[in-house]
A = this chain, B = another copy of it.
């Protein structure tokens, strides 16, 4: 299909939704060539091409901009929603941005520059200035007429904002109430004045929490002086939630990733760079564990069969700890668990781990005595260690994320890998101490 029959390809493409066209184009860019994708992109009708462009991933957008003519670039920039345009400009090299800005009207250029200056993960970088703003003494009919005129260029028309002369936000009106209300009612009579807003510098995670909690379609963004500067809509929040979740997953597995690139698009070196810091740090922690074992070498050399149970004890310790850590980290990120619940959490984990530990130890005792045919003192050593290790692991696993939050570190960094190397130390010490005492070595 892709061998020169562009006209046909275009007709087939146009049967799809813009989102799906963007996806197909993305595949073409990944598997074939940017050139071909651009040719296909150019065959699309102008209005469709802008929409498709807005759904492409940022690196493909940049690739296209680098190839097409300046005139085409400024057409796309003109038609793109304001927040999408800012996202593209943020990724372009400074000289390209300058060239684009030269061609935009002065007041828009000023606005763009303000938006470009907000840090990447704050409310300011998510918002758009394209919202419907009404005046408080408009009637419902006037408001609807205004929306009819301005609604095309606005990001959403479903929530409208009432400002005073000083741009301070006075109230919020939903289009639903406008449509339901009588035509000659004045807006100030029924607008919501106890609205919730966010600050431009609020972190995107706080913003998405507000959307989850209240189920809003849009939220107003205000500056330090309480002036309305933009709004954030729920569709952008879905992306934020995805991004934040991915970050949590990666941190919990000891991967540091500062870019938004997809797995397959990232170079081998980038992958190495993301993974080696934690692997190295954790590897170093095993120097201590190794040292502990070395200091117990005489115990070991006397009862060499103890070594066979070491992986089980370390493994079970690590798994128990990471279960607790994950539950606590997730609970805290959903605001189900507060730092003030520390005592409750500990008490729960101690009870849970004692029961879990007793069950696992008993099963093991039977296994070691009967199946492995080991003496009961060795079985006792392994099983009592198991009990202590499970309890310690669950306490460490639940305590560490809470302590991390207390001192302002992301709790997600205290997940499995970190917990596992700590519990490994605890396991080794417990096991060999138990052995020296119980076996009398």
Binding site for B on A (CB under 8 A): 17, 19, 144, 147-148, 151-152, 157-158, 175-176, 179-180, 194, 196, 211-215, 217, 234-235, 237-239, 241-242, 245-246, 248-250, 252-255, 262-264, 268-269, 271-272, 275-276, 278-280, 282-283, 285-287, 289-291, 293-294, 297, 300-301, 304-305, 307-312, 314-316, 318-320, 322-323, 325-331, 334, 336-337, 341, 344-345, 348, 351-352, 355-356, 359-360, 363-364, 367, 416-417, 420-421, 424, 428
A263/B337 in contact, CB under 8 A: yes
Nearest-neighbour CB distance to chain B for A101, whole angstroms, equals 28
Which of B294, B320, B352, B417 sits near A319, CB closer than 8 Å? Answer: B417
B276/A359 in contact, CB under 8 A: yes
Q: How many copies does the complex hold?
A: 2
A301–B360 Cα distance when bound, in Å, is 29
A286/B311 in contact, CB under 8 A: yes
A344–B310 Cα distance when bound, in Å, is 37
A297–B286 Cα distance when bound, in Å, is 23
A139–B182 Cα distance when bound, in Å, is 20
Please classify the interface of chain A as helix (H, G, I), strand (E, B), loop, or mixed, using the class held by over half of its residues.
Answer: helix
Which residues from chain B contact A249 at a C-beta distance below 8 Å?
Answer: 248-249, 252, 326, 329-330
Nearest-neighbour CB distance to chain B for A267, whole angstroms, equals 9
A283/B316 in contact, CB under 8 A: yes
Nearest-neighbour CB distance to chain B for A195, whole angstroms, equals 9
B211/A319 in contact, CB under 8 A: no
